[in-house]
Structure 1
Amino acid sequence: MDPVSVAVTVGTVVFLTIAIIVLYKATKIATEIIKERVGKNKPSLASILILLLKISTSVAIIVMVYSVFKTLYPDIALTITNFAVAAGILGIIFGLAAQSSLGNAIAGMILVFSQAVKVGDMVEYDGEVAAVEDIKLTHTILKLRDGRKIAIPNSNMLNSNIVNYSMVDELVAATVIVGISYESNPDNAIKAMIEAAREHPKVLDKPPPQVIITGFGDFSINLKLLAWINDPWIKPIIESDLTWAIYEKFKKYNVEIPYPRRVIIMKGEKQVEAQKPLLTSMGEKTVEEVG
């Protein structure tokens, strides 16, 4: 090898070696900056950025190391190239097997960068209200009201219809559905339900609680109370409180929850008239028989 070629080879090796060291140091510094500036407010975004940075750095270093070997030992580099081709084929095979994990990882990045769901958000997923505790690369951890924690694959989070109460505000309507008899005064029933809602300390004045008629049943006029609260987490508790309060108010205003009367005719027996209470939000009662 002539002196010029040797000088070029040495220069290339030195340059690549310095580049590897600088890249490694720069990655460490960038990691600390991300932890300091992003990690405090957005830990999920910080962890994903750091992971992407490390992956990119690792790929770049591998390419540089290969370039050094190729410069110093062309024959060995050829062998490495053949090995890399075989490794690439194996990588494709393993990649197909792990495409679910890859899909979850991509979905996790989309969730973080789009800010559709953030750590600390209050969401409703699959009928359950939960707090987003953490968003990892492949899955999201939700904390339910009863303290349980569940891990949801990020692809499911991305493709599901999720209600995010934290995106605009956290206002949510606590609802109670109840039926009253046709003999009862609907105005009194509505007044009782509104009073029950207004007297609850957690129910907001604005928007004001309201009652709507949802329909006419065989034995009842069906009413629905909408009472607004600013904490979705306690919605079931508020609904329970309001249900009991409405029950007490109905007694005060002489509003009846109907007991449908049905006639049952049994062959060879006398006629039996049975009373079966209407199933409403007030609960289910036992069947009474009247001879």
Structure 2
Amino acid sequence: AVWLSGSVERKLMRAPLDSNLRIVLARLSKVALMFLALMITLPLVGIDLTALSVFGGALGVGLGFGLQKIMANYVSGFIILLDRSIRIGDLISVGTDRGQVQQITTRYTVLRSPSGVQSIVPNETLISSVVQNEGLSDREVRVAISVQVGYADDVERALVILEECARAHERVLSEPVPRAFLHSFGDSGINLELGLWITDPENGTLGIRSAVQLEILRRFRAEGIEIPFPQREIRVLGDTGNVALCDAKA
């Protein structure tokens, strides 16, 4: 049974089928063959299957109460593979964990984060929690970059520069086009936001953020556009004589 299940699994993995469907068929075939082997072997060694019915019923009830979580994860694993909501290679986020799906086993799913850390997530968690799948229907993901300019600068020119810097990067899609907006008015400057789209979120967003922001910094310096830093104005109120005396001591 073990040899046959291994042979069936190897053939299924080479078949032109969906990856999730191949995994489901391989596991079902292994379970069916092992069960069939057990049913054939027990009578051959002189064990009456009917004598095990009462014991099997009691064992099933005990396992049902004691292994609820394990069975829930087991069934959840098959549900995930059959409904194809999560596939191997998808970039998903569940709770505080975010990463690319590397493996879907009977009990758990392995996620690999962009930093290389692997997270083992129980399949029941993926069924009962909200999962953000960045590659379910399409792979287009929006990346937002915030920039602040001074109140005395040309805001319209700054918006044009932001869009030009985004279009110059090879990972940025030409459609939807990168768009820059005036987000809000801050204490130290005007807040702008650049929105761009990529199709390879599994490669991370830090690299593209860094490249685009370096280009923005270079262009702003060339154009004389200021990126302000927080400034505070302190005004001393009270007796001017005491202030002059403090200045003299200082």
If the length of structure 2 is used for normalisation, what is the TM-score?
0.78
Match of 1:256 in 2: 226
Kindly indicate whether the alpha-carbon contact (under 8 Å) linking 2:153 and 2:226 is maintained by their aligned counterparts in 1.
Answer: yes
Equivalent of residue 195 in structure 2, options 219, 223, 226: 226
Aligned partner of 1:51 among 16, 21, 27: 27
Over residues 155-174 of structure 1, what are the superposed CA-to-partner deviations in whole Å (9 max), with x where a residue is unaligned?
11223333333333322222
The aligned counterpart of 2:65 is: 96
Candidates 101, 105, 114, aligned match of 1:145 = 114
Please report how far the alpha carbon of residue 212 of structure 1 lies from its aligned counterpart in structure 2 after TM superposition: 1.7
Contact 1:188 1:255 in 2 (8 A): no
Correspondences of 1:129-278 after superposition (within 5 Å) = 129-232=98-201, 233-264=203-234
Separation (CA, whole Å) in 1 of partners of 2:49 and 2:107 = 36
Q: Are 2:72 and 2:124, in contact at CA under 8 Å, matched by a contact in 1?
A: yes
Aligned residue number for residue 123 of structure 1: 92
- 1:270: Cα distance to partner? 5.6
CA contact (8 A) 1:174 1:238 kept: no
Counterpart code for 1:244: L
**How do residues 51-90 of structure 1 correspond to structure 2 at under 5 angstroms?**
51-59=27-35, 80=51, 84-90=53-59
Q: In the alignment, is the contact (CA less than 8 A) between 1:192 and 1:253 conserved in 2? A: no
Deviation track 1:220-246 (CA, whole Å, cap 9, x = no partner) reads: 221111122221123221011111211
Check the 8 A contact 1:139/1:152 in 2, yes or no: yes
The aligned runs of 1:29-44 (5 Å cut-off) are 32-33=7-8, 35-38=10-13, 40=15, 42=18
Give the equivalent residue in structure 2 for 1:20. Answer: none
* Counterpart-to-counterpart distance in 2, 1:171 and 1:189: 26
- Following TM superposition, by how much is the alpha carbon of 1:65 offset from its aligned partner in structure 2, in angstroms? 7.5
Range moving further from structure 2, 154-163 or 187-196: 154-163
Secondary structure at the counterpart of residue 206 of structure 1: coil
1:21-54, CA deviations, whole angstroms, 9 ceiling, x for partnerless residues?
Answer: xxx7xx9767744541355555554344333334
Q: For residue 189 of structure 1, report the CA deviation from its aligned partner.
A: 1.2
Gaps of 5+ in 1: 1-23, 272-290
Question: 1:77 and 1:248 mapped to 2: Cα distance?
Answer: 79
Shift of 1:192: 1.6
Q: Distance in 1 between matches of 2:133 and 2:13?
A: 23
Tell me the distance in 1 between the aligned counterparts of 2:208 and 2:243.
47
Alpha carbons of structure 1 residues 264 and 87: separation in structure 2 relative to 1, 3 Å:
farther
Write the distance in 1 (CA, Å) between the matches of 2:135 and 2:213.
27
Residues 260 and 54 of structure 1, relative CA distance in 2, 3 Å threshold: closer
Contact 1:213 1:222 in 2 (8 A): yes
Unmatched runs of 5 consecutive residues or more in structure 2: 245-249
Measured in 2, the distance between the counterparts of 1:133 and 1:166 equals 14
Alignment-mate amino acid for residue 67 of structure 2: A
CA distance in 1, matches of 2:227, 2:243: 29
Query: Identity over aligned residues, as a percent?
Result: 25
Q: Distance in 2 between matches of 1:191 and 1:123?
A: 33
Query: Could you tell me how far 1:115 is from its partner in structure 2?
Result: 0.8
Preserved contact between residue 178 and residue 222 of structure 1 (Cα < 8 Å): yes
Seen in structure 2, the aligned counterparts of structure 1 residues 202 and 94 have a Cα distance that, compared at 3 Å, is same
Closer, same or farther: CA 247–230 of 1 in aligned 2, 3 Å: same
TM-score (normalised: structure 1): 0.68
